[in-house]
Amino acid sequence: MPEEPSRAIRLYGTEEPLPERRVLRAGPLECTLEAGNLRWIRLGGVEAIRSLAYIVRDRNWGTYNPEIRDLRVEERADGFTVRYEATARDAAQAYRYRARIEGRADGSLLFEGEGEALTDFVTNRTGFVVLHPVGVSGRPLTVEHTDGRVVESRFPELVDPLCPFQDIRALTHEVLPGVRLRCLMEGGSEPFLRFWRELVYVLGELRELCGRRLVISLLNCLRCRLANRDLRQRLR
């Protein structure tokens, strides 16, 4: 008989140990720091964002497991700040970036990433990936475009082979009655919403465009900001 897979294989598909996790809090906001990225961002105990991550992928869509160094986590009574440097590399290319994450007492969250290609760097995606929880399916959504247009729409209910929204500056949805979360992207190029509820912000000042590949050779900076109006008063 074939050997039964281990619990780790059944749950995660790998025997590699899980990265260390650390719960961080800022006012009504709670999230989990894992491998330099954030998971399970909650407001008032309700999941608002499933994941907020700075992702580097290679020419074949493989996701790098970056080497993180100089990780500093400062926790305060009114919030937290995380800083680190990381390098994504293989035998052919390397990309280095610096990240800063700040959670504030009003429930807002700032994630900044600034990167530099140490060699010509071919990537199918480098930048922020924001995953919304499945519970937003079909719910109202406000889309702000980079040209200033604001469109009232809804998250897709079913899998859509096309990107339902493109040229996005910000997405806003209601987390709790009267509490709306605004996910704002600043800098870099244009984000788009993929059919699996993934808000993708692609980093890169492009020197060459080859199919769906990006070749990055210049310094770039991106920011992702989550903000809530009058959050503390509404959650009291």
The single-letter DSSP state of residue 9 is H
Q: Would you say how long the chain is, in residues?
A: 236
* pLDDT at residue 229 in the model: 47
* pLDDT at residue 129 in the model: 85
* pLDDT at residue 224 in the model: 55
* Range 17-37 burial, b when 16+ CB lie within 10 A, else e: eeeeeeebbbbbbbbebbebb
Q: Is the C-alpha dihedral spanning 163, 167, 169, 174 positive or negative?
A: negative
Task: State the DSSP string of 152-203.
Answer: EEE--SS--SS-SEESEEEEEEEEETTEEEEEEEESSS-EEEETTTEEEEE-
* pLDDT at residue 160 in the model: 65
Q: Is the pLDDT of residue 63 over 60?
A: yes
Q: Is the pLDDT of residue 204 over 50?
A: no
Question: Cβ distance 206 to 145 under 8 Å?
Answer: no
Q: How far is CA 113 from the centre of its chain?
A: 11
For the chain, the maximum distance between any two Cα atoms, rounded to a whole number of angstroms, is 62
167 Cβ partners below 8 Å, 6+ apart? 145, 146, 147, 190, 192
Q: Is the pLDDT of residue 72 over 60?
A: yes
Residue with tokens 């959050």: 231
Compute the mean pLDDT over every residue in the chain, rounded to the nearest whole number. 79
- The region of weakest confidence among 167-171, 181-185, 200-204 is 200-204
Within 10 angstroms of residue 219's Cβ, the number of other Cβ atoms is 10
- Distance, in Å, from the CA atom of 129 to the CA atom of 202, rounded to the nearest integer, reads 8
Where do the structural domains in the chain lie, given as residue ranges? 22-235
* pLDDT at residue 202 in the model: 35
- Distance, in Å, from the CA atom of 100 to the CA atom of 168, rounded to the nearest integer, reads 23
Return the percent helix, strand and coil in the chain, to nearest 5.
Answer: 5, 60, 35
- Distance, in Å, from the CA atom of 19 to the CA atom of 62, rounded to the nearest integer, reads 19
Q: Is the pLDDT of residue 47 over 90?
A: yes
What is the CATH topology of the domain spanning 22-235? Beta-galactosidase; Chain A, domain 5 (2.70.98)
Within 10 angstroms of residue 152's Cβ, the number of other Cβ atoms is 9
More confident call, 26 vs 225: 26
